[in-house]
């Protein structure tokens, strides 16, 4: 049985009257490398700050290793790196050892040199540099090194690729793998760069206006909602096809509806009242086959069994028809 590091239950966080997080249930397990994705304003940074106990919810809670309010010894296991480098107005060395001093830990010059080398900064050149002598990319690396030096059990990274150049990205990957393997760190990364993120994470959590959307089991339609003359909502696929759902809802000032992949049924011959689309990709897994489908300007995924795949023999660019459950 996997050990739960974080258990988030009925979490709500508001800034004034604006709700920025609404998460009914979320668990993160020991040793995972989890990616949190979503557009700007989706709540990624707020969630990380809540997990670091720098923000507190209006309702619900964030439990770390079973504690809603963890003792100091457990809070000190958690390291959060902000999206913008936050350094002390001191030398690189002082920035690196500050966290150790706070924790009452001794350090060696070897430890300091090791983490600098790990993030791609030559110790002899950078150890005595002051914060204002660093580029934004170098500051980002020092910020990461200052978290790695105290061997965090949980490492939270907010947009860690910000400010990094082409040389910095491989170093970041190495540092994440180092923390995961050497310290056994549970790592949670909020990032907009999904192509980079997919190379290193074991699981993705997608946020949309503060709500968790399962990117494997769900699709979220949010961009093309309109109201008809009766004021009712409908979704425009951009090719004359529209979708009406009983569970469409307003999220803040945005409109969205979560569609479970299990609600989507695919047909290989034309049907009445179905949605016309094309298969654009096919991915075979052990027990199932994922079909990526395009309807107008929207893309979605549906899952079929191996038996159906072998019987119907679907292919890329094949015309298909779909029915989506929960329709009016």
Name residue 62's beta-bridge partners. Answer: 8
Q: Are 54 and 192 members of one domain?
A: yes
Share of the chain above pLDDT 70, in %: 92
Say yes or no: 209 and 222 in one domain: no
pLDDT of residue 254 exceeding 60:
no
Return the percentage of the chain with pLDDT > 90, whole number.
Answer: 60
Q: Is the pLDDT of residue 106 over 90?
A: no
Tokens representing 309 are: 């795949």
Predicted structure pTM score: 0.76
Residue 204: which domain range? 4-213
Q: Nearest-CA neighbor of 138 among 171, 109, 111, 112? A: 171
For residue 150, the domain's CATH number is 3.40.50.300
End residue of a domain, out of 175, 197, 213:
213
Q: Is the pLDDT of residue 248 over 70?
A: no
From 30-34, 80-84, 240-244, the region with the lowest mean pLDDT:
240-244
pLDDT band, residue 246 (cuts 50/70/90): low
pLDDT digits (tens, 9 = 90+) for 136-148: 899 999 999 999 9
Tell me what pLDDT residue 40 has: 85
- 252 — pLDDT class (breaks 50, 70, 90): very low
Mean pLDDT throughout 141-168? 91
Residues 161 and 32 occupy one common structural domain: yes
**If you average pLDDT over each of 43-47, 213-217, 240-244, 260-264, which comes out highest?**
43-47
- On the question of pLDDT at 26 being above 80, the answer is yes
- The residues near 101 (Cβ < 8 Å, ≥ 6 apart) are none
Last residue in a domain, options 213, 243, 277: 213
**What average pLDDT does range 85-94 have in this prediction?**
92
Alpha helix locations (H) across the chain? 44-51, 72-75, 92-102, 109-118, 123-126, 136-148, 168-182, 194-197, 306-312
Q: How far apart are CA 135 and CA 119, in angstroms?
A: 14
| 99-113, 173-187, 209-223, 314-328: least confidently modelled range | 209-223
- When pLDDT is cut at 50, 70 and 90, the band that residue 118 belongs to is very high
Note whether 296 and 263 are same-domain residues. yes
Q: How many domains does the chain have?
A: 2
- Enter the tokens of residue 241: 């096809």
Same domain, 159 and 301: no
- Per the CB < 8 A criterion, the answer to whether 8 and 23 are in contact is yes
- Residue ending a domain, among 213, 231, 262, is 213
Structure tokens at 226: 């309109």
Burial class (CB in 10 A: 0-12, 13-18, 19+), 94: middle
């Amino acid at each position: 049985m996997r050990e739960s590091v974080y258990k988030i239950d009925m979490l709500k966080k508001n800034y004034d009257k604006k709700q920025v997080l609404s998460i009914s249930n979320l668990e993160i397990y020991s040793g995972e490398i989890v990616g949190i994705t979503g557009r700007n304003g989706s709540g990624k940074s707020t969630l990380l700050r809540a997990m670091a106990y720098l923000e507190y919810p209006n309702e619900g809670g964030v439990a770390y290793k079973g504690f809603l309010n963890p003792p100091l010894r457990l809070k000190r296991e958690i390291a959060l790196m902000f999206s913008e480098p936050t350094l002390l107005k001191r030398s690189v060395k002082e920035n690196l050892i500050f966290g150790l001093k706070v924790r009452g830990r001794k350090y060696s010059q070897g430890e300091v040199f090791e983490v600098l080398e790990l993030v791609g900064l030559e110790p002899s050149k950078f150890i005595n540099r002051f914060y204002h002598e660093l580029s934004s990319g170098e500051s980002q690396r020092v910020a990461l090194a200052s978290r790695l030096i105290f061997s965090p059990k949980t490492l939270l990274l907010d947009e860690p690729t910000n400010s990094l150049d082409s040389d910095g990205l491989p170093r970041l990957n190495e540092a994440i793998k180092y923390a995961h393997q050497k310290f056994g760190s549970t790592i949670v990364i909020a990032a907009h760069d999904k192509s980079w993120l997919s190379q290193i994470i074991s699981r993705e959590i997608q946020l949309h206006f503060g709500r968790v959307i399962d990117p494997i089991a769900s699709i979220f339609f949010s961009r093309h909602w309109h109201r008809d003359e009766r004021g009712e909502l409908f979704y425009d696929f951009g090719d004359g096809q529209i979708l009406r759902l009983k569970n469409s809802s307003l999220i803040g000032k945005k409109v969205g509806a979560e569609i479970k992949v299990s609600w989507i049924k695919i047909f290989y011959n034309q049907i009445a009242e179905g949605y016309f689309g094309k298969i654009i990709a096919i991915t075979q897994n052990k027990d199932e086959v994922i079909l990526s489908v395009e309807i107008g300007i929207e893309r979605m995924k549906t899952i079929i069994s191996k038996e159906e795949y072998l019987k119907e023999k679907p292919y890329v660019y094949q015309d298909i028809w779909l029915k989506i459950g929960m329709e009016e």
